[in-house]
Amino acid sequence: MTDDPASLDLSATEMRAMADATVARVLAHIASLPDQPAIGDYEDVVARCRALREPPPEAPTPFEALLEQVFDVCVPCSYTTSGPGYLAYIPGGGVFPAALADLIQDVTNRFTGIWHPAPLLVQLEANVLEWLTTLMGFPPSTRGMFGTGGSAANFSAIVCAREQRLGPAIRDGVMYASTQVHHSVVKSARLAGIAADRLRVLPVDEGFRLQVPALAEAIRADRRRGLRPFLVVTSAGTTNTGAVDPLEVVADLCAAEGLWHHVDGAYGAFFHLCEETRPALRGLPRADSLTLDPHKGLCLPYGTGALLVRDGAALRAVHAVAAGYLPPQGDDDVYDPSQYSPDLSRGAPGLRVWLCLKVFGLARYRAALREKHELATYAASRLAQLPGMTLVAPPVLSLLAFQLAPPGAPREESTRATRELAQRLLARRRIFLSGATADDGRFLARICILSFRTRRPQIDLCLHEIEEVSAEILRERG
């Protein structure tokens, strides 16, 4: 580094050395992913976290030592979310061009919170939002925003619905969702000022989908109480079982009742790109607003979420604020992010989506999504043939849920056996499955296939592991 104590600049040679060292580590990490355990070493993890605590560093630390700490100490103690054996929760993977986009964004450090400081970079972001609008079948009036994920998108959607349907009469408003709705919806409702006693959590059917008759009756009952139903939130692929609510029927009901219909498609909406899975999402283009997570369906790194709102003026009405210190806005023909999202200080979040879509093209993404659906269908058919295995939620998109049920065992015993199955699989560390608890208390094991690195060999390995472990458990339980 320079001898100037006030300088934070690095020489070209120093930057090249840092970049080369980092890229070498990154490429070695990617190359080792097939051999890495699906979940890292968590032994004595609390003590290891405490051991990392340190006072603020007054003097510089050699860069190689920092890379060693990150890659050799911290990263191995984590879920291998970018690996092919990660079938838990909702995988993403993190395609490499997105990392390069982030490098470009961080180095150029352009401000895109408003249009004027970087109008052409903002236009790239606007292009992507227009592409998403087209791909989801939304009308030209649609406007959108990029955020950190589905939670931020769901929050903005609920605020938008609240302002459009309730105005200042927030206390009178009632919103509706199923027991399977993502927890961020409940949290977002709270943050948006919707009290807990104004959120109706409704039952699901045997396919874990919102029961529309129960929804219709709840709306009628609230109107009789003098309340104002204003919002229904449905799921295009739940996290627990991958269920898709009856979007078309709910759209009809919301249109008849004058309610805002928000679809949380964080996991499943991108399957709308494929002809094979589009029928399962029938009615999605009729939503008033739609949450999308490119860090799921497009395999981008975590921290890439999006929201589309059919009435773009409604989205702008919620977020548009002027200030005397800001440069002038562009005309109505240009997209200004600050007028459609909560953020002002931001980099270029749309750049990583734009670069990846341009590098790979939609045809390759469609093929990848189609493959995940086919792999899930294949896994379900194989699981259904295993002794003692019950397929509780067949894959609608690429997620399936199942239970190990010893012959004649009561529900409680099946739940214990399924938990044991999940724990033993996790202990082997070759694949990582997560579970979910159904409304009736059953514990379900899940397989979610979405990472671009998960291919047929990993699914065969997963099925082999499940077959071995489930056979062990059934033998032990007689």
**CA angle, residues 161, 166, 172, in degrees to nearest 5:** 120
Q: What is the mean pLDDT of the segment spanning 312-316?
A: 97
As to burial, measured by CB atoms within 10 angstroms (0-12 exposed, 13-18 middle, 19+ buried), residue 475 is exposed
Residue located via tokens 């459609």: 340
The amino acid that residue 50 corresponds to is R
Domain carrying residue 301: 102-361
Residue 97 lies in a domain: no
Q: pLDDT for 47-90, tens place per residue? A: 999 999 999 999 999 999 999 999 999 999 999 999 999 999 99
Measured CA to CA, the distance from residue 314 to residue 180 in angstroms comes to 28
Q: What is the mean pLDDT of the segment spanning 128-138?
A: 98
Tokens standing for residue 261: 């219909």
Q: What is the mean pLDDT of the segment spanning 385-411?
A: 93
Is the domain of 345 the same as that of 393? no
Residue 16 lies in a domain: yes
Q: Are strands 305-309 and 399-404 parallel, antiparallel or unpaired?
A: unpaired
Q: Report pLDDT for 177.
A: 98
Q: Report pLDDT for 330.
A: 61
Is the domain of 322 the same as that of 414? no
As to burial, measured by CB atoms within 10 angstroms (0-12 exposed, 13-18 middle, 19+ buried), residue 311 is middle
As to burial, measured by CB atoms within 10 angstroms (0-12 exposed, 13-18 middle, 19+ buried), residue 90 is buried
Share of the chain above pLDDT 90, in %: 92
Is the domain of 265 the same as that of 317? yes
The total domain count for the chain is 3
Q: How much is the pTM?
A: 0.97
Q: Report pLDDT for 192.
A: 96
Average pLDDT, the chain: 96
Residue 24 lies in a domain: yes
CATH number for position 417 = 3.90.1150.170
Q: pLDDT for 225-278, tens place per residue? A: 999 999 999 999 999 999 999 999 999 999 999 999 999 999 999 999 999 999
Domain boundary among 326, 361, 396: 361
Q: Report pLDDT for 470.
A: 97
Share of the chain above pLDDT 70, in %: 99
Whether residue 477 has pLDDT greater than 90: no
Is the domain of 254 the same as that of 382? no
Whether residue 465 has pLDDT greater than 70: yes
Whether residue 1 has pLDDT greater than 90: no
